[in-house]
Structure 1
Amino acid sequence: MKRFYLIGFGALLTFDTLAQICFKLAGMHALPLQPNLAWLLRLFAHPWVYGAVIGYLGAFFTWMTLLKHAPIGPAFAASHLEVVTGLLLAVPIFGEHITPVQGLGAIAIVGGILVLAKGEGDAAPD
C-alpha cells in the first residue's frame, strides 16, 4: 500500500505542478487581456492552455483514486504540495526569487504534511 501512496501522490504532485506552471505560462502569453474573439483564439493557440487542462484533469482523476484508499487528513495536506513545487520551479523557469516568508511557508507546508502523515502512521492498526 505504501507503494500505491508513493506512486499516487507522486502522480498527483506532477499533475498539479504541471497545471500550475502551464497556467502561469498561458496567462503570461495571454496578455494583453482583451474581451474579444481574436484574444480567445490567440489564447487557445498556445500549448500551455492544453498543458494546464491535462494537468487539472490528471490531478482530478488521480485525486479521486487516492481518496478511495488514503487517509483524508494527510491526503488533503499532501494534495497542496504543488504550492512548494511551483514555488521551487518558478525560480529556474520564471526567474523569480524565493522570499524568506515564502521559504518559511514552504517549510511549514512540508512540516505539516509530515506531522499529519506521522500521526496517521501511528494511529494505523498493526
Structure 2
Amino acid sequence: MKRFYLFGFLALMLFDTLAQVSFKYASLHAEPLTLDAAWLVRVFGHPWIYGAFVGYIGAFFTWMTLLKYAPVGPAFAASHLEIISVTLVSVWLFDDTLTLPKLIGGSLILAGILCLAKAETTLPAESAAPAEPSRS
C-alpha cells in the first residue's frame, strides 16, 4: 500500500506541475491580454493550454483515487507538494529566484506532511474510525 501512495502522490504532483507550467507557457504565448476573439485564438491555438487541461484532468482523477484509499489528513497535506515542485521547476524554466522564504515554506510543507504521515501510522485503528453517534 505504501508503494501505491508513493506512486499516487508522485503522479498527483507531476500532473499538478504540468498544469501550472503549461498555464504559465500558455499565458506567455497569449500576450497581450485583450479579452477578445484574437486573444482566444492565441490561447487555444497554442498547445500548452491543452497540456494544462491534461494536467488538471489527470490531477483530478489521481486525487479522487487517492482519497478513496489514503487517510485524508496526510493526503490533503501531500497534495500541496506541487507548490514545491512548481517552485523548483520555475527556477529552472523561468529563471525565478529561490528565496529564503520559499525554502522555509517548502521545508514547512514537507515537515507538515511528515508529521501527519507519522501521526497517521501511530494512531490505533479504532481512533482513526469515526465514533458512532450516541442515541440519547
Instruction: Measure the CA separation in 1 of the matches of 2:59 and 2:84.
Output: 16
State the 4+ residue runs in structure 1 displaced beyond 3 angstroms: none
Q: C-alpha separation between the residues in 2 aligned to 1:90 and 1:83?
A: 10
Identity %: 58
Instruction: Name structure 1 gaps, 5 residues minimum.
Output: none
Take 1:21 and 1:110, find their aligned partners in 2: how far apart are those partners? Answer: 21
Aligned to 2:100: 100
Q: Distance in 2 between matches of 1:117 and 1:124?
A: 14
In the TM superposition, residue 42 of structure 1 has moved relative to its aligned partner by 0.9
Which TM-score applies when normalising by structure 1? 0.95
Q: Distance in 2 between matches of 1:23 and 1:35?
A: 16
| Cα offsets for 1:3-33 (capped at 9, x unmatched) | 1111111111110111111111111112100
Partner of 1:113: 113
**Displacement of 1:35:** 1.6
2 CA distance for matches of 1:42 and 1:65?
Answer: 34
How do residues 84-95 of structure 1 correspond to structure 2 at under 5 angstroms? Answer: 84-95=84-95
Aligned residue in 2 for 1:21? 21
Q: TM-score, normalised by structure 2?
A: 0.88
Secondary structure, aligned partner of 1:41: helix
Q: How far apart are residue 124 of structure 1 and its match?
A: 5.3
- Corresponding residue pairs, total: 125
Partners of 2:59 and 2:66 in 1: CA distance:
10
Q: Take 1:29 and 1:47, find their aligned partners in 2: how far apart are those partners?
A: 10
SS in 1 for 2:106: helix
- Return the alpha-carbon distance in structure 2 between the equivalents of residues 49 and 124 of structure 1: 46
Query: What RMSD in Å do the two structures reach over aligned CA positions?
Result: 1.0
Aligned to 1:32: 32
1:99 shift after superposition = 1.0
Q: Following the alignment from structure 1 to structure 2, what is the Cα–Cα distance between the partners of residues 31 and 40? A: 11
Deviations 1:31-83 (Å, cap 9, x if unpaired)?
10012111101111111100000000000000001111000000001001100
Please tell me whether residue 62 in structure 1 is matched to residue 62 in structure 2. yes
- Bigger-Rg structure (1/2): 2
